[in-house]
Amino acid sequence: MNISKSLLLGGAAMLAPLASLANPIVYIPLGTANEIMIVDAATDKEIGEISGFKNVHGLSLTPNGEYLVVGSNDEVIAGRSKMAGHGKKMSGSTGKPKSAPAVMAKPAGV
């Protein structure tokens, strides 16, 4: 494996586990651009984007790769689901409740 392929941008979410990177797809949050870039890591080419989010700042794929969990400044996004616990006090926090808005989106073609 090319080491540069394994050191992808922080905050990016990979579609495949590291053990199966034959055709890896990477999702990269673009912050104030309000989009998620989709990159084919094998070719280093952008193959698409997902728009409709406000200030995307974090991504994670569910273990089965079915859903992309998107951290953003959106409260509600039409056609997308809030995660369980959205807006609730985080475990172990004290004082003022802290929360990170998160929604789930189903990546196209998955």
DSSP assigned state of 66: S
Phi, psi of 21 (to 5 degrees): -95, 35
Distance, CA of 29 to CA of 38 (rounded, Å) = 9
**Which tokens hold the place of 91?**
């475990």
The pLDDT tens digits of the residues spanning 29-71 come to: 888 898 888 888 888 889 988 888 788 888 887 777 777 777 7
The contacts of residue 101 (CB under 8 Å, 6+ apart) are 71, 72, 73, 74, 75, 86, 87
pLDDT band at 108 (very low <50, low <70, confident <90, very high): low
**How much of the chain, in percent, has pLDDT values that exceed 90?**
1
Q: How many angstroms separate the CA atoms of 31 and 55, rounded?
A: 4
Confidence of residue 10 (pLDDT cuts 50, 70, 90): very low
